[in-house]
Amino acid sequence: MRERVIDPVSHTVYKSLPEFLDTEERPSGILTVMHGGMPIDVLHDPRGFNTTTVFFQAAVTRPDIQFPVFSGRMISAKMPTNRVHIGDPSLYLSKDLGLGWYAGNRYQALQDVLTEIICHLIPDCQRIVLFGASGGGFAALYYASRLPGALAVPVNPQTNLARYRRLPVDRYGRLAWGLEGERLCSQIPAVTDLVTHYKDQQSTRVWYVQNTGDSTHLERQFTPFMDGLTAGHSVTPVLIDGPEGHRPPPRPQLTAVLAAAVEGDDVPSL
């Protein structure tokens, strides 16, 4: 189990999911919900705005990084939004696990549990934006489909884990679920294929941000996802020319897209 470093001054711990859901208070700071014997860490930053943005982390690749990891703080610092930053609890299972797609593990049916946590944290009157890159983009897409009226802004996301690189998927299956072998993704008791999942999600709004320089994701993740959508879908592709490889688009353009989502614009701005 990874070591976590949390300042107790701004830390609230709930012994179980029911205890968290039973409280009416939504304090700021790091909220830890214990579930399945493991912590789910959330950085809650209510700032008095009418929009709340939920941030999901991409893969953790630095061996010296301090947990819990909360992404999206810098890009959203000056935006008029409340913020919910969620760490992926599956990464606590092993120092060798850097990517879990917020899809859960053998101790946590996370896709259901995290939906409940997000719904409880965000008042019904709020507009919700979900943002993440790569594996965090997968999460933004999935959880938006569980939150009516939400807008997902995924960046270079994986949309089908079976079409992603085998090594990180195999590592996730083995370390998070204790699963190995062929057709691994079909063994995982969670949604791992958003191409199929989104065929029934016409009303879920998505601004799908894709760096055109990321040729592998463009071919294996973006194109099958877009081709699989049915008539009447609510997905807007946002293609941005950027650096080659699996890297985000230039920061100014990415910031502009997220800012437009936070402001409630009808279409993304570049």
- Look at residue 41 and tell me if it is in a domain: yes
* pLDDT reported for residue 32: 98
SS (H, E, C) 128-173: EEEEEECHHHHHHHHHHCCCCCCEEEEECCCCEHHHCCHHHHHHHH
- Look at residue 3 and tell me if it is in a domain: no
Could you tell me the strand order of the sheet in which 127-133 lies?
Answer: 11-14, 29-35, 38-45, 82-86, 51-56, 127-133, 151-155, 205-211, 235-240
Number of neighbouring beta carbons within 10 Å of residue 27: 12
- Look at residue 56 and tell me if it is in a domain: yes
Q: What is the pLDDT of residues 164-215, one digit of tens each?
A: 999 999 999 999 999 998 899 999 999 999 999 999 888 999 999 999 999 9
Cis bond before residue 39 (omega within 30° of 0): no
- Look at residue 1 and tell me if it is in a domain: no
Q: Look over the chain and give the mean of its residue pLDDT values, rounded to a whole number.
A: 96
- Look at residue 268 and tell me if it is in a domain: no
Cα separation of 181 and 81, whole Å?
43
Domains in the chain, number: 1
pTM beyond 0.85:
yes
- Residue whose structure tokens are 């409340």: 82
Which 8-state DSSP code applies to residue 91?
G
Q: What is the pLDDT of residues 37-49, one digit of tens each?
A: 999 999 999 999 9
pLDDT mean over 113-141: 97
- Look at residue 127 and tell me if it is in a domain: yes
Domain, as residue range, for 191 = 8-263
CA distances from 47 to 5, 20, 141, 150, 156 (A): 24, 21, 25, 19, 28
Contact residues for 208 (Cβ-Cβ < 8 A; gap 6+) = 154, 157, 222, 225, 226, 235, 236, 237, 238
CATH code at 165?
A: 3.40.50.1820
- Look at residue 270 and tell me if it is in a domain: no
